[in-house]
C-alpha cells in the first residue's frame, strides 16, 4: 500500500483504540509524541524499501534504503513478520527511554502509539496481492482474502478510490462523534 494509505489507516487505528480505552490525564507532550510515533510506526515496516519516506528525512537517505533493502533481501521480509514486530517493540522501548524524559512524556503511551501504527501497516499490507510473511524466516505468505487474485494491487484504483476514502471518512466520523471524549483525555 502507499505511504498515504498507511498513514491514514494508522491514524484511524490510533483514534479507534483511544476511543475504546479512553486513557486519561494525557499530557499534551505525550499526545504530540504519540501522534508522531504513530506516523513513524506506519512507515517503519517499509524501512527496507528505498522509496520509504523516512529516508527523505535523512541526509543521503536513499543510499541507506538501498543498503537495508539488500540486507533484508526482498521487500516485505522480517519487517512484516511477528519476529520483526517483537524486535521493533524492544528497540522502540530502548530508544524512547533514552530519547524522552518520562516525567513529561508517557513512554508506554508513545510506544503503544508507534506499535499501533506498525501493526496497522502489516495488517493493511495483508489485503494486498503480495501478502505478508508473518512467520518469516518461513517463506509462507498470508493475506486476506486468502485467494491471492481477490486481493488488491498496491496504488491502484481500489486502494485510491475505495480504501483510502473509506479510511478518511471513518476517521473524520470517529473524531466528530467522539470529540468530547477525546478532549477529555487531556490532563
Ligand atoms: Zn509494507
Query: For 61-71, how does the pLDDT look when each residue is reduced to its tens digit (9 = 90+)?
Result: 778 777 776 77
Handedness of CA 64, 66, 71, 77 (dihedral sign): positive
100: pLDDT confidence band, cut at 50, 70 and 90?
very high
Helices (H) and strands (E) in the chain, counts: 9, 0
CA atoms within 13 A on the CB side of 156: 8
What is the distance in A from the centroid of ligand 1 to the CA of 35? Answer: 20
Let me know: does 39 contact 4? Beta carbons within 8 Å: no
* C-alpha cell, 66: 538501498
Mean pLDDT estimate for the chain? 91
What is the distance in A from the centroid of ligand 1 to the CA of 148? Answer: 16
pLDDT tens, 19-34? 999 999 999 999 999 9
- Per DSSP, 150 falls in state G
CB atoms within 10 A of CB 45: 28
Q: Is the pTM value of this prediction over 0.95?
A: no
pLDDT over 90, % of the chain: 75
Amino acid at each position: 500500500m502507499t505511504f498515504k494509505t498507511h498513514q491514514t489507516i494508522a491514524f484511524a487505528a490510533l483514534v479507534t483504540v483511544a476511543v475504546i480505552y479512553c486513557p486519561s490525564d494525557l499530557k499534551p507532550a505525550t499526545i504530540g509524541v504519540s501522534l508522531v510515533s504513530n506516523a513513524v510506526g506506519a512507515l517503519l515496516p517499509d524501512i527496507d524499501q528505498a522509496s520509504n519516506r523516512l529516508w527523505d528525512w535523512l541526509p543521503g537517505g536513499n543510499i541507506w534504503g538501498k543498503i537495508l533493502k539488500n540486507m533484508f533481501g526482498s521487500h516485505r521480509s522480517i519487517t512484516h513478520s511477528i519476529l520483526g514486530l517483537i524486535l521493533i517493540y524492544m528497540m522502540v522501548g530502548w530508544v524512547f527511554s533514552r530519547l524522552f524524559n518520562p516525567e513529561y512524556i508517557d513512554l508506554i503511551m508513545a510506544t503503544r502509539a508507534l506499535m499501533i501504527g506498525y501493526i496497522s501497516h502489516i495488517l493493511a499490507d495483508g489485503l494486498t496481492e503480495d501478502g505478508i510473511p508473518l512467520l518469516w524466516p518461513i517463506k509462507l505468505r498470508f493475506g486476506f482474502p486468502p485467494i491471492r487474485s481477490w486481493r488488491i494491487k498496491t496504488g491502484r484504483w481500489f486502494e485510491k478510490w475505495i480504501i483510502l476514502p473509506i479510511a478518511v471518512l471513518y476517521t473524520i466520523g470517529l473524531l466528530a462523534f467522539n470529540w468530547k471524549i477525546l478532549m477529555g483525555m487531556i490532563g
